[in-house]
């Protein structure tokens, strides 16, 4: 009996398996068909290595799932056989009694009855649930799904694939090249330049240039790094101070003193490092003056010197040095003052400490000006920094002035001039006193020495600031070079690929292009820039700068000219008419002249 039931079960499950296979084939084929069509609609070839194995997997999983869910147990098979052969639940009952270990004569009899009934029955009589329709549908859908693999990708897709491959290779190449360039750049940095920008930050930018096969993503990455470089360049931007120093430099060229002229020349050329070095000559060299007490002998000598007009020059050597220095500081201060007046006419007057204290209070900074330290100054907004009284810098320890931010250059210059002026006044007073035979006291002497020392330290602070500005300028130029290199990593319109200009290209000196190059083979080095560079809308970093509103004239000249010409034509045609009175013609002529006479001054003004 058990065997019979198992045979029934096997046959039923076989049928279920066939049906499950057919059903899952239809479902998987439909899924594969839709999936494949999505490729074809987009112009791609069906990715056979993914789609068809996935289809087979779906068939296997579905068939297994259906079979698992629907497969018959022994009892179900027995019930099926009872129904199919009209056995009146003999098999199911017998099987259940057997499975539940029912013992007794009656159960034996029941089992025997069941066995007798199945003796003449063959499980093969149960038809397999093989559906011809289902098989045909499964076959057709499978063939349809399979036939999609014959479709080839469109030309556009082939191009896109090629482009992706090229992009991937190029982005990798760009990354490696830029990495190398950045390392070279970092190695070439001086200590001051390294202070201006963190080399690790630059390395971090390069890491963002990842390898990608998406052209847009690659360009976006490049543009992103470019933007970061631009931001850093902007931070290193010191244009106002540079212009101030340049203006001062131009003024210095008119000085009588050659040393001042030299510095002026350097400043004019924005060679701040050189200027800083030349400033060394302007130090008052106070270290040579020993801080010794003035003994009676020396005092007598000083008195004698003061009375002796021939030795007066020697005594006034320092005064001369100071005079030279003042020639310099005055010009520097003037330039700073002038620059400040231009940029902010309202703050042309130097603010007193009290006024500045009020400003601080208005800005919710609960500190007195005297309480501000260097860190506080770095945090102050630019408008407050512009108003900063220069004497406030005198409150700082002289050693700290070396660390003043570039924003305070003008204040430093003004302070320098003020201090130089004070020193000169002191020395003049001392000279007068000496000439009157009144020797200076020890305190006055020490005060003078301290002033001299402070003056030198102020010059040193200026030197430091100039050196820093030079470093920032250099760093800016280097970053601009890097930015330029990245900016050149763009799409070549002819080959539609990314490239990085590794060399400057062109021919060596003396071998420039000639007029016959269109006819002959171009011997220019192929740096992929000799093709016609044509921008592609929406792709590539923006190279053009946006002009600010106030930099333009506000009037389109071409349009204005055309308008004027049109008016002239109208006027002349009107004047030529005979049906119009002479008065009217004059009036119209005057009208048009008035229009353009009004426009002209406004144009000039805007220009």
Is position 92 an interface residue for another protein (rule: CB under 8 A)?
A: yes
Q: Which two tokens stand for residue 384?
A: 């407050």
CB of 116 to another protein, least distance (A): 11
Question: What are φ and ψ of residue 316, in 5° steps?
Answer: -90, 20
The smaller minimum CB distance to another protein, of residues 79 and 351, is found at 79
The two tokens of residue 590 are 């005057």
Among residues 96, 181, 243, 262, the one that binds another protein under rule CB under 8 A: 96
Closer residue to another protein in complex, CB, 79/248: 79
Residue 100 binds another protein (CB under 8 A): yes
Question: By CB under 8 A, is residue 84 in contact with another protein?
Answer: no
Residue placing its CB nearer to another protein in the complex, 75 or 157: 75
Residue 100, phi then psi, degrees to nearest 5: -95, 10
Contacts of 93 (CB under 8 A, 6+ apart): 110, 114
| Span near another protein by CB under 8 A; candidates 104-112, 169-177, 561-569, 587-595 | 104-112
Binding flag, residue 313, another protein (CB under 8 A): no
Choice between 61 and 106, CB closer to another protein: 106
| 89 CB neighbour count, 10 Å cutoff | 13
Instruction: Considering the complex, state which of residue 84 and residue 396 has its C-beta at the smaller distance from another protein.
Output: 84
Query: What whole-number distance in Å separates Cα of residue 311 and Cα of residue 299?
Result: 15
Task: Report if residue 207 touches another protein, rule: CB under 8 A.
Answer: no
**Contact present, 224 and 239 (Cβ < 8 Å):** no
Please identify, among the stretches 87-95, 393-401, 546-554, 599-607, the one whose residues bind another protein according to the rule CB under 8 A: 87-95
Q: Are 178 and 218 in contact (CB under 8 A)?
A: no
- What distance in Å separates the CA atoms of residue 391 and residue 414, rounded to the nearest whole number? 9
Of these, 75, 128, 169, 575, which contacts another protein (CB under 8 A)?
75
Tell me the two tokens of residue 164: 């992706």
User: What sign results for the dihedral spanned by CA atoms 292, 295, 299, 301?
Assistant: negative
Residue 371 binding another protein, by CB under 8 A: no
Instruction: State which of residues 2, 42, 68, 88 lies at the interface with another protein (CB under 8 A).
Output: 88
Choices 93-101, 298-306, 477-485, 551-559; region in contact with another protein by CB under 8 A: 93-101
Cα 255 from chain centroid?
Answer: 44
Structure tokens at 87: 């056995």
Residue with Cβ nearer another protein (93 or 241): 93
Distance between CA 242 and CA 272 in Å, rounded? 9
Instruction: Specify the residue, 79 or 142, whose C-beta has the smaller distance to another protein.
Output: 79
Tell me how far apart the alpha carbons of residues 27 and 149 are, in angstroms, rounded to a whole number: 18
Give Cα 444 to chain centroid, integer Å: 57
Task: Report the alpha-carbon distance of residue 606 to residue 602 in Å, rounded.
Answer: 6
Which one, of 238, 236, 242, lies nearest residue 196 by Cα? 236
H-helix or E-strand spanning residue 265 = helix 258-268
Q: Does 1 bind another protein (CB under 8 A)?
A: no
Contacting residue, 54, 70, 110, 277, with another protein by CB under 8 A = 110
Of positions 93, 212, 271, 329, contacts another protein by CB under 8 A:
93
Q: Which stretch binds another protein (CB under 8 A): 94-102, 483-491, 497-505, 587-595?
A: 94-102
Least distance from another protein to the Cβ atom of residue 13, Å: 20
Residue with structure tokens 């390395």? Answer: 203
Stretch that binds another protein, among 84-92, 188-196, 553-561, 565-573 (CB under 8 A): 84-92
Beta carbons within 10 angstroms of residue 541's beta carbon = 19
89 binds another protein (CB under 8 A): yes
Q: Considering only residues 109, 201, 580, 584, which one is a binding residue for another protein as defined by CB under 8 A?
A: 109
Name the phi and psi angles at 39, rounded to 5: -70, -50
Phi, psi of 491 (to 5 degrees): -80, 130
| Nearest approach, Cβ of residue 84 and another protein (Å) | 14
| Binds another protein by CB under 8 A, chosen from 49, 69, 101, 105 | 105
For the segment 25-54, give every residue that binds another protein (CB under 8 A): none
Which of 8/325 has CB closer to another protein?
A: 8
Binding mask 553-582 for another protein (x = CB under 8 A): ------------------------------
Burial 584-597 (b: 16+ CB within 10 A, else e): eeeeeeeebeeeee
State yes or no: residue 103 binds another protein (CB under 8 A): no
In terms of CB distance, is 89 or 376 closer to another protein? 89
Give φ, ψ of 498 to 5 degrees.
Answer: -80, 145
Choose the stretch contacting another protein; rule: CB under 8 A; options: 100-108, 160-168, 431-439, 554-562: 100-108
Find the binder of another protein among 14, 102, 224, 270 (CB under 8 A). 102
> 498 - beta bridge partners?
491
Q: Least Å distance between CB 88 and another protein?
A: 4
Q: Give exposure, 374-398, as e/b (b: 16+ Cβ within 10 Å).
A: eeebeebeeebebbbbbbbbeebeb
> Given candidates 14, 15, 30, 107, which one binds another protein under the rule CB under 8 A?
107
Check if the beta carbon of residue 43 is closer than 8 Å to that of residue 153: yes
CA-only gyration radius of the chain, Å: 47
Q: Residue numbers of the site for another protein (CB under 8 A)?
A: 75, 79, 82, 88-90, 92-94, 96-97, 100, 102, 105-107, 109-110, 113
């Amino acid at each position: 009996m058990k065997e019979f039931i198992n045979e029934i079960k096997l046959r039923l499950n076989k049928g279920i398996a066939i049906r499950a296979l057919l059903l899952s084939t239809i479902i998987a084929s439909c899924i594969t068909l839709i999936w494949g069509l999505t490729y074809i609609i987009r112009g791609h070839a069906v990715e056979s290595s993914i789609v068809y194995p996935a289809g087979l997997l779906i068939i296997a999983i579905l068939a297994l799932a259906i079979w698992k869910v629907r497969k018959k147990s022994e009892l179900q098979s027995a019930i099926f056989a009872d129904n199919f052969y009209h056995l009146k639940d003999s098999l199911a009952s017998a099987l259940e009694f057997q499975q539940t270990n029912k013992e007794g004569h009656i159960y034996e009899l029941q089992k025997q009855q069941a066995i007798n009934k199945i003796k003449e029955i063959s499980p093969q009589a149960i038809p397999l649930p093989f559906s011809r329709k289902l098989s045909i549908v499964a076959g057709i859908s499978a063939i349809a799904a399979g036939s999609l693999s014959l479709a080839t990708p469109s030309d556009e897709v082939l191009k896109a694939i090629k482009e992706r491959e090229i992009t991937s290779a190029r982005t990798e190449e760009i990354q490696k090249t830029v990495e190398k360039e950045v390392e070279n750049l970092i190695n070439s940095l001086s200590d001051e330049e390294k202070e201006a920008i963190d080399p690790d930050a630059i390395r971090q930018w390069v890491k963002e240039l990842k390898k990608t096969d998406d052209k847009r993503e690659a360009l976006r990455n490049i543009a992103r790094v470019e933007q970061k470089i631009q931001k850093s360049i902007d931070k290193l931007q010191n244009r106002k101070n540079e212009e101030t120093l340049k203006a001062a430099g131009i003024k210095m060229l008119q000085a009588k003193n050659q040393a001042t002229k030299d510095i002026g020349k350097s400043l004019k050329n924005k060679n701040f490092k050189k200027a800083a070095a030349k400033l060394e000559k302007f130090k008052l060299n106070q270290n040579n003056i020993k801080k010794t007490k003035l003994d009676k002998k020396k005092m007598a000598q000083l008195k004698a010197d003061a009375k002796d007009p021939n030795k007066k020059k020697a005594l006034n050597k320092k005064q001369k040095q100071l005079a030279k220095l003042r020639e310099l500081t005055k010009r520097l201060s003037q330039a700073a003052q002038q620059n400040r007046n231009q940029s902010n006419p309202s703050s042309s007057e130097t603010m007193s400490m009290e006024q500045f204290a009020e400003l601080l209070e208005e800005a919710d900074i609960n500190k007195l000006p005297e309480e501000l330290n260097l860190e506080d100054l770095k945090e102050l907004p630019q408008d407050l920094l512009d108003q900063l009284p220069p004497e406030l810098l005198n409150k700082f320890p002289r050693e700290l002035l070396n660390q003043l931010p570039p924003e305070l250059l003008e204040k430093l210059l003004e302070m320098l001039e003020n201090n130089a002026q004070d020193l000169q006044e002191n020395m003049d007073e001392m000279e007068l006193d000496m000439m009157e035979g009144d020797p200076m006291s020890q305190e006055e002497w020490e005060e003078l020495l301290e002033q001299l020392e402070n003056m030198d330290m102020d010059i040193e602070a200026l030197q430091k600031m100039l050196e820093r500005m030079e470093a920032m300028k250099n760093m800016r130029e280097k970053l601009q070079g890097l930015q330029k290199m990245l900016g050149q990593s763009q799409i070549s319109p002819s080959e539609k690929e990314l490239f990085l200009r590794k060399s400057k290209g062109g021919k060596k000196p003396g071998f420039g292009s000639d007029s016959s190059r269109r006819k002959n083979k171009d011997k220019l080095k192929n740096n992929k820039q000799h093709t016609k560079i044509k921008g592609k809308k929406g792709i590539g970093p923006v190279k053009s700068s946006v002009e600010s509103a106030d930099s333009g004239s506000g009037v389109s000249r071409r349009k204005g000219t055309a308008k004027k010409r049109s008016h002239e034509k109208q006027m002349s045609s009107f004047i030529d008419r005979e049906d119009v009175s002479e008065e009217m013609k004059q009036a119209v002529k005057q009208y048009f002249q008035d229009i353009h006479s009004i426009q002209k001054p406004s144009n000039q003004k805007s220009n």
